[in-house]
Amino acid sequence: MNDFPDLSLDPERMPRHVAIVMDGNGRWATRRGLARLEGHRRGKDSVRAVVDAARELGIPYLTLFAFSSENWQRPSSEVRFLMQLLHRYLITETKRMMKRDIRLIALGDCSRLPAQVQKALRETVECTAGNRAMTVALAVSYSGRQEIVRAARRLAAEVASGGMRPEDIDEFAVASRLDTAGLPDPDLLIRTSGELRISNFFLFQLSYTELYFTETLWPDFREREFLAALSAYQRRERRFGSVDTAARPPLRVAN
């Protein structure tokens, strides 16, 4: 931990789950007169830096919003580049994840990804499945609304087949049919680049999440900025709708 600036983080009050909307790659590049793709390339280095920092800090769950369902509408050359970047990331990072005891899981409609990306994703997920120190959830081709629709369809099918009654459907039943089943709800959501939006991300899961927005563009978001976000989180008072500062969230989705 010696490389990190002292932001007086309390190890007892670390978030269990941090989710990040990685935004601003394009602006980072255009401000430098570079092609947007260069911003994505640099953004990949921030992914590595933040995963390493989270692992070192003992944060057990980290979700990275890497590609939204809406991102398919971007120019095909940019989509192709992002898919190549993701493919290369999976190939190169699997070894590092094994060394660091990191498990990778995927959220979203992965069936839309190119076949070779699906294959690499499947292989990394399988290879790292037994790792326990940290879970990195990669949200790719992800849409919060579509995820809720998929969960609703699953529940409807279970009711139609007689496996469950409508009155059995509660928050836990919905949560356990989302892509994030088994993960705790995020304690902290970080969005970079100054945009103050949720953008169809984790619509069910963010109910009691602390939100942190920073002007820093994703390619510039490294350990120092991550620690600043965690420090801001630790200064928040979480009451979950109660007056009691020791209150717990009304729904803990996971283990």
Q: How far apart are CA 170 and CA 253, in angstroms?
A: 12
**Which stretch in 23-31, 151-159, 165-173, 238-246 sits in contact with ligand FPP by CB under 6 A?**
23-31
Instruction: Kindly list the catalytic residues.
Output: 23, 71
Binding mask 159-188 for ligand FPP (x = CB under 6 A): ------------------------------
Cβ pair 71, 104 in contact under 8 A: no
Comparing every residue's Cβ against ligand FPP, the nearest one is 26
Q: Which residues of 93-114 are buried (b: 16+ CB within 10 A; e: fewer)?
A: bbeebeebebbbbbbbbbeebe
**Which residues in the 60-119 window bind ligand FPP by CB under 6 A?**
64, 66-67, 71, 82, 85-86, 89
The correct pick among 15, 17, 19, 24 for binding ligand FPP (CB under 6 A) is 24
Q: Which residue's CB is nearer to ligand FPP, number 144 or number 175?
A: 144
H or E stretch at 138? strand 134-142
Closest CA to 141 of 115, 114, 109: 109
26 binds ligand FPP (CB under 6 A): yes
Distance CA(94)–CA(78), nearest Å, equals: 24
Residues that bind ligand FPP (CB under 6 A): 22-27, 40, 43-44, 47, 64, 66-67, 71, 82, 85-86, 89, 138, 193, 218
